[in-house]
Amino acid sequence: MPDARIEQPTDVLVKITSTNICGSDLHMYEGRTDLEPGMVLGHENLGIVAEVGNAVVEVSPGDRVCLPFNIGCGFCRNCEVQQLFAEYQVPWLQV
């Protein structure tokens, strides 16, 4: 796999310094779901900003960051106000 690089002005490269597995990862770790060989668990990440695109203003190289694992469609009202925990456009994420 090639090294990550800045491709868009809003991109941020983060060097991961630590990660954690949570309950959803434990299902795979304990063999209750399929786990492909070589799959890396952990989606709760901490790291240090390595590089930023020229449109990034909220973080700078050297900043320590926690990466959110929430995802969103990027188009609905909740995404517009950055309330990804309330996302309702991702079908498999619905509760």
Using CA atoms, how far apart are residues 53 and 62, in angstroms rounded to an integer? 14
Using CA atoms, how far apart are residues 78 and 89, in angstroms rounded to an integer? 9
Please indicate, yes or no, if residue 85 is contained in any of the structural domains.
no
pTM over 0.85: no
Domain that holds residue 57: 12-70
Q: Does 62 or 92 have the greater pLDDT score?
A: 62
Q: How many CB atoms lie within 10 A of CB 46?
A: 14
Please indicate, yes or no, if residue 46 is contained in any of the structural domains.
yes
Please indicate, yes or no, if residue 79 is contained in any of the structural domains.
no
How many domains, the chain? 1
Q: Rounded to a whole number, what is the largest CA-CA distance in the chain?
A: 44
Confidence of residue 35 (pLDDT cuts 50, 70, 90): confident
Tokens of 47: 């790291």
Please indicate, yes or no, if residue 54 is contained in any of the structural domains.
yes
* Spatial CB neighbours of 37, under 8 Å, sequence gap ≥ 6: none
